[in-house]
Structure 1
Amino acid sequence: MQNSTSIRKMIVGIGFFCATCVAAVVGYSIAGWSLVDSLYMVVITIFGVGYGEVQPIDTPRLKVFTALIIVAGCSSGIYVVGGFVQMVAEGEIQRVLGVRRMSRGIEQANGHVIICGFGRVGRMLASELKELDEPFVCVDSNPERIAQADELGYLVVTGSAGEEDTLMRAGIARARVLATVLPDDAANVFITLTARELSEEIEIIARGESTATQRKLIRSGANHVVLPAAIGATKIANMISCPNAASLLSDPKQSERLRSDLQSLGLSIHEYPIESTSKIIGSSLGDLQSTCEGGMMVVAIRHADQSLLKNPKPNQTIQSGDRLFIVTNRSDRVSLTRATQLKKPEMLYRGSSTS
């Protein structure tokens, strides 16, 4: 923004300077001077050379005109030079201050995340961490990507993440997690090895493209390995096998968090269709919960008209054709089925085993 202001100032100054020169030439020509004499007079007058007048300036009108040309020409020249100096000074000051701010921010970071690679995955990861208010540092050897991260206000380090010096500048000694998300499996393996040598305590999450790479990353010291291709295939399979549940959990962020939370608690989400012969038609969700021995929670209801009701209230009435999305564990699912004589759920979303 500031550099654009300086450039605009220079353009305005140059335009005014050129207009002054043209006006001066026209003015002297009107006074009866030749074109060459007029140009020469303008040059020695505006640039302050002062060799002497080409022709006598003996009338008050010419004297005033010449004085105005001197003032306008010098002022516009100073304006242009000032804009140039401002542009150079501001750029240098911003660069120095930016480096100092970045260094100070990284030095003060503690328990932060180091993102190795600011490509497509790295940008999405950084955006997620920013939303979660997690401190992080982006590392990349590509100056253009680093510039993009810097414009977004992220802490950045320029250099190869496979070099010890680069990871040290990123504060690996104080970092909590290192995520290497480069599209190059060999680079991710090398970064994992380097990071593990520098820190035994840091948690390393690595991106991999194949199961063979996954084994190498684990042996190199990675705590977790993410295979984007496998995750994508699982998501597509879920959408094909159970479109209703997939639409319920269509938000990738909520879907991933929900899966992780449910799995850690031994839970899963099931889809129950309510047939016209079900004995719970006309009952409320509160009545349904009270008839079950174990814990359960109805997170959504898809009605027969395909409208979706999220977070239904306990007094919500169950109707024929409804599809209930219920979070429960295996033992409670058996209790729920027996108490309500529901059919076996059509889908078991990723969670506890069905056996």
Structure 2
Amino acid sequence: MLSSLKPRIQITGEEVLHVLRCLVVLAGVVAFGTAGFTLIERDWGLWKSLFFTLITITTVGYGDQGLSPSGEAFAAVLLLFGIGTATYSLTSLVQLVVSYHGAGKKRMQERIDRLTDHFVICGFGRIGQIVCEQLVAAAVPFLVIDSDPDEVENAIEYGYLALAGNSTDDEILAAAGIPRARGVVCAINSDAENVFVTLCAREMNKTAFIASRASTAAAARRMERAGASIVVSPYTTAGQNIADAILRPRLSEFLRNHSESDFELSELTVAEGSFFDGRSIREVGERFPTVVFVAIDRAKPATIVRPGGSQVFLAGDHITVAGERTILEEVFREAEAGAALASV
């Protein structure tokens, strides 16, 4: 999965030949100079001839080293022809490296431009990395934005699509495809930046699900006003988890153990004309006996918690279900015609 996300750079045969030609020409100049000094200056060894050849073609210079008239004439020829040839070869190699770097960025942007219904992760810190891991496990497309080039390189090494830039920049957000994204995760370590990104993302996409990280209650309120769908405080969540572990240790252990197993709590939406549409929980349960239907969320009436067996599913219902992942994948295929599983 991860390797498939990496922007691949194809090396053509012509480019390989060009590199080989440059290396051969460069090696030829060095060999020519070394052999010439060795033959002309008979008291010079091979190493000294090689050394003087290198500092000649690199224009370092070595002053008066007791060259014979023939040696001076040979050094002049080497300066005239060797420097130009070596410079051309080295410049060609550098240009090739730079062009590959630019081609990699271009291919990366081309793949990003093809993304639809994806998530944009702003900030590749500890929280952003965990979110990415979960999205990879769920096979959900996403890309990363971070202002730190090192973090961007880390994301690319993991196999993620990534952009280097400030998430508060409208051009960067547009390049990430915010208008066609399913959602945005604001996981930057700055509350002020998360508020601004939330505001910009909501302006670009009115329907996107925006999750923001907040370190204070005041920042959380600002993010909600800016348009965040949900605001999460890592400190509050950590405190609640610790309190649950102290007050309800067995329940906490059960949830922790099952979060690492195939048992999952997920949500799905009933599509019109699907197997679920118009059938009761009892009828659906006969086909999926191990699945638990926890709640049904619909516009009218309010959310139905622990629905009975006679409750009928309707198109547009948002259902919270629990069960083994492999079984839930089949449930999703029947209810949403192949929609991706989004676990919580």
TM-score range, shorter chain: 0.5 to 0.7
Q: Count residues with an aligned counterpart.
A: 235
Task: Describe the superposition over 1:18-64 as per-residue Cα deviations: whole angstroms up to 9, x where unpaired.
Answer: 9658755763469xxxx7135x644532662699xxxxxxxxxxxxx
CA distance in 2 between partners of 1:42 and 1:152 (Å): 55
Q: Which has the larger radius of gyration?
A: 1
Match of 2:115 in 1: 109
Distance 1:253 1:186, change over 3 A: farther
Unaligned runs of 5+ in 1: 52-72, 263-294, 298-328, 332-355
CA distance in 1 between partners of 2:189 and 2:240 (Å): 20
In the superposition, the TM-score normalised over structure 1's length comes to: 0.53
Do the aligned partners of 1:137 and 1:156 also contact (CA within 8 Å) in 2?
A: yes
Match of 1:44 in 2: 73
The reply to whether residue 222 of structure 1 matches residue 211 of structure 2 is no
Match of 1:231 in 2: 237
Match of 1:349 in 2: none
Match of 1:145 in 2: 151
Match of 1:185 in 2: 191
Match of 1:27 in 2: 42
Unaligned runs of 5+ in 2: 1-8, 12-18, 46-64, 268-288, 292-305, 309-344
Match of 2:128 in 1: 122
CA distance in 2 between partners of 1:20 and 1:82 (Å): 22
1:132, CA displacement in angstroms? 2.4
Match of 1:99 in 2: 105
SS at match of 1:129: helix
Runs of 4+ in 1 over 6 A off after TM superposition: 14-19
SS at match of 2:143: strand
Match of 1:136 in 2: 142
2:226 corresponds to which letter in structure 1? S
1:103, CA displacement in angstroms? 2.0
Over aligned residues, Cα RMSD in angstroms? 4.3
CA distance in 1 between partners of 2:84 and 2:186 (Å): 53
CA distance in 1 between partners of 2:170 and 2:147 (Å): 14
SS at match of 1:27: coil
The reply to whether residue 175 of structure 1 matches residue 181 of structure 2 is yes
CA distance in 2 between partners of 1:165 and 1:96 (Å): 19
Task: Describe the superposition over 1:276-302 as per-residue Cα deviations: whole angstroms up to 9, x where unpaired.
Answer: xxxxxxxxxxxxxxxxxxx999xxxxx
Match of 2:172 in 1: 166
Match of 1:156 in 2: 162
Structure-to-structure mapping, 1:1-355, within 5 angstroms: 23-24=38-39, 27-28=42-43, 36-38=66-68, 41-42=70-71, 44-45=73-74, 48=77, 84-243=90-249, 245-250=251-256, 254=260, 258=264, 260-261=265-266
Q: Greater relative contact order (Cα 8 A, min sep 6): structure 1 or 2?
A: 2
Distance 1:135 1:29, change over 3 A: closer
Do the aligned partners of 1:141 and 1:160 also contact (CA within 8 Å) in 2?
A: yes
1:219, CA displacement in angstroms? 1.6
CA distance in 2 between partners of 1:203 and 1:50 (Å): 65
In the superposition, the TM-score normalised over structure 2's length comes to: 0.54
CA distance in 2 between partners of 1:228 and 1:207 (Å): 7
1:128, CA displacement in angstroms? 2.6
CA distance in 1 between partners of 2:72 and 2:35 (Å): 11
